[in-house]
Amino acid sequence: MRSAPSEPYLTIFTDVKNASRKLAGLDPELVSQVLLNLADSLLEESKPIVAANQLDLEKMDKGNPKYDRLGLNVHRIASIAEDLRKVALLPSPLGRALSESTLENGLRLSKVSIPLGVIGFIYEARPNVTIDVFALCFKSGNGCILKGAGDAWHSNLSLFYLIKKTLKKFNIDAGFVQLLHPSRAATAELLNASGFVDVIIPRGGRELIDFVKLNSSVPVIETGAGVVHLYFDKDGDTLKGADVIFNSKTRKVSACNSLDSLLVHRDRLQDLPVLLNKLAAHQVIIHCHPQIMVGLKDAYPKKLLQVWTESSNATEYLSYALTINVVENLEQAIAHINEYTAHNSEAIVTENRETARYFQMRVDASVVYVNAATGFTDGAAFGLGAEVGISTQKLHASGPMGLAELTGYKWLVDGEGQVRS
């Protein structure tokens, strides 16, 4: 028999479940007004939010890969507010007719979109997730239970209070959104809240995601963490490849879509100095095969070259570091990627359209790029307004998860008194 959550979590989970049932009945225009007002409030309250964030930053080592993700400043808050406005202006994902048909017996069937219910989010030091998740859940009619990391407690709390304050302005029951204390006990209660929580989405590193998968009695949607690859094909354009590699690696090294592993066709090894030239300015450490090191010894800073090891292939760096491997052909590149992929984002640089399409269809990832940087894997960049995470599985959702991915569906059946024999 399933045991009920202990207090005070039983009360919290019950309140969220009950309050969330009212959301689908809210006027979509009102929902948009709330989100736009919250966006304005974020800008108005940016200084106290940054001050709260500073309390968290002071406790974290600047060398920690999570440090960049944790940091908030006026520019980042403005970006979060802009994403909020985008979500506010998107059409409601609820009540959409996904399909309609009439059976031979006259029954009229329609499949319509509905909220998933109550969603639990467990995430690392990423305070922007607090706002993104609230906005997407509110717009899609879902209750949400937020469980952020202790590293971001002051930041998350300041944002959560602002959410509550905004909902109160519009006389909306704020019970559908809750922020749990960053304790192990709270995590355990949330992972075992079957019957109160419909799905849990973890967002963070591989260790966090694996822990949630192994310990949750609630269904889990796995999100992206792990190695991201780019294959430079024998038909790749060198200048195009240099730009894509540079941007994929250095734009935001702490992001889960940043480049970790570069595969180069053996016929194009002579192009490595050009492909890697821009990386040297950012002091990117290259973990490479001895064969590559020999070719780079006079073209790349020696202090930044390190011997490749077997573990390099499975390393998600989240820093200015990159693994480089040599492959014999396209099939070997695909096999390597499918062995080490996180199913998040993978890319190829090639001018051969047949090779490009073959690569896209054979690589097992939620997003597969041709001649474009992997950093575009993001809800905002994909036009979704924001995201709750990047799903790396195939059931329910795959890739950046926005409003549509936070809905399920139900069947509506209209008849005229039909009975089944």
Which CATH number does the domain housing residue 358 bear?
Answer: 3.40.309.10
Residue 387 in domain: no
Q: Which two tokens stand for residue 329?
A: 């052909």
Residue 76 in domain: yes
Residue 92 in domain: yes
CA distance 182 to 186: 7
Same domain, 168 and 23: yes
Question: How confident is the model at residue 386, as a pLDDT?
Answer: 83
CA distance 283 to 303: 9
Residue 3 in domain: no
Same domain, 352 and 405: no
Concatenated DSSP letters for 194-229?
A: BTTBSEEEEES-HHHHHHHHHH-SS-B--B--SEEE
Which residue range is the domain that position 118 belongs to? 9-221+401-414
Q: Which two tokens stand for residue 255?
A: 């992001």
Same domain, 271 and 336: yes
Same domain, 37 and 159: yes
Burial class (CB in 10 A: 0-12, 13-18, 19+), 394: exposed
201 closest CA partner among 329, 4, 393 = 393
Whether 155 and 52 have beta carbons less than 8 Å apart is answered as yes
Question: How confident is the model at residue 189, as a pLDDT?
Answer: 96
Whether 163 and 177 have beta carbons less than 8 Å apart is answered as yes
Same domain, 214 and 348: no
Residue 241 in domain: yes
Same domain, 251 and 107: no
C-alpha distances in Å from residue 52, one per residue of 41, 59, 68, 152, 156: 16, 12, 16, 9, 9
Task: Report the helix count and the strand count for the chain, using DSSP H and E.
Answer: 14, 16
Residue 382 in domain: no
410 closest CA partner among 19, 198, 98 = 98
Same domain, 288 and 240: yes
Which CATH number does the domain housing residue 59 bear?
Answer: 3.40.605.10
> Could you say which residues of the chain have pLDDT below 70?
1-3
Residue 318 in domain: yes
Helix (H) or strand (E) holding 179: strand 177-179
Same domain, 93 and 118: yes
Same domain, 265 and 124: no
Amino acid in the structure at residue 401: M
Question: How confident is the model at residue 393, as a pLDDT?
Answer: 83
Same domain, 216 and 294: no
Residue 45 in domain: yes
Same domain, 257 and 180: no
- Residue 9's SS3 state is helix
Same domain, 243 and 212: no
Question: How confident is the model at residue 1, as a pLDDT?
Answer: 42
Count of structural domains, the chain: 2
Q: Which two tokens stand for residue 405?
A: 């991915």
CA distance 52 to 148: 15
